[in-house]
Amino acid sequence: MTPTDPLLQVGVFVASLVANLLSALAGGGAGLVQLPVLILLGLSFPLALATHKVASVALGIGATMRHWRERSLNPRLAAFILACGLPGVVLGARMVLALPPRLCTLLLGLLTIGLGLYSIARPTLGMEVEGRELTKGRMVIGGMVLFVIGVLNGSLTSGTGLFVTLWLVRWFGLDYGRAVAYTLILVGLFWNGAGAITLGQQGQIAWVWLPMLLAGSIAGGYLGAHLAIAKGSQLVKRAFEVLALLMGSSLLWKSF
C-alpha cells in the first residue's frame, strides 16, 4: 500500500480526527495517537515528528475557532506561558534530530505508558480546582516547569499538552476548562508552530500525508473543543488511559 492509496489516506484522516478530538476534549494528548500512528505506518521518528508538529498547529486553529468566543484567557498569563515555553520548544526540537531514532521511539513509548499509568493512579487528575496565590517564587518555579515541558514538547511531544493543562490546574490554580483553553490556543498554535518551523528547517515533512492530517486536525480540534465546553471530559480521561497504554506498548515493541 503506497502513501497515496485512498484507503490509507482515509485512515490517516480518521486517526487525525480522533486524535485531535480527544486532545481538544482533554487539553492535550494528540501526540498520544497521531504521532505513534505515523511511526507505525512506517515514517522515521524525525519525519513523523515534523509532520505531526505541522498538523498539530491545525488543532490549535480548530480549537481556537471554538474557544475564542469564551474570552477566558488572561493576556499576562498567556504571555508568561509563551515566554517560558517557546525557548524550550525550540531547544527540544533542535535536540531531537541529534538523537538515535530507536532511542526516541523507546522514550516516547515509556513516556506514553507512564502518562497512562499516572492518570489511572489519580482518579481526579485534571478534575480538581484549587485556588493558588501566584507569588513571585511560585511564578519562577511554574515558569521553569513550563520550560521543561516545552523541551519535551519540541522533542518527545507525546502528552505534553496534557502536562501543560494539568500544570496550569495544579500549580496556577486555573479551573480545568480554562486551562484547556490556554493549552489548545497557546500550545496548539504557538508552541507547536515554533516546533514545526524548527523541525521543518532541519528535516523533512511527509507532504503527501499532510492534507488529510490537517483536515482531521481542524475538524477534530473544533469538535473536541465544542464537546469539552458542553460536556466535560471524564469519559475522555478513561479513553486516554487505554490509548496511552496501547500506543505506548506498540511503540516499545517497535523500538526493539
pLDDT band, residue 69 (cuts 50/70/90): low
Task: Kindly state the average pLDDT of the residues 22-39.
Answer: 78
pLDDT band, residue 3 (cuts 50/70/90): low
Residue type present at position 200: G
| CA atoms 114, 23, 102, 200: torsion sign | negative
Neighbours of 145 (CB within 10 A): 17
**Tens-place pLDDT, residues 162-180:** 788 878 887 888 877 788 8
Least confident of 83-92, 132-141, 209-218: 132-141
Residue 122, helix vs strand vs coil: coil
pLDDT band, residue 130 (cuts 50/70/90): low
pLDDT of amino acid 6: 81
Highest mean pLDDT among 22-31, 108-117, 126-135, 157-166: 108-117
- Whether 67 has a pLDDT exceeding 70, the answer reads no
Task: Kindly state the average pLDDT of the residues 40-46.
Answer: 81
- Whether 156 has a pLDDT exceeding 60, the answer reads yes
Which stretches of the chain are DSSP H helices? 6-26, 30-40, 45-67, 75-96, 101-121, 136-155, 160-170, 176-182, 192-202, 210-231, 234-255
Least confident of 179-193, 214-228, 229-243: 229-243
pLDDT of amino acid 22: 79
Task: Kindly state the average pLDDT of the residues 19-40.
Answer: 79
All three cell numbers of 8: 490509507
3-class SS letters over 67-93: HHHHCCCCHHHHHHHHHHHHHHHHHHH
Nearest to 243 by CA among 58, 22, 59: 22
C-beta of residue 40 within 8 angstroms of C-beta of residue 79: no
pLDDT of amino acid 13: 92
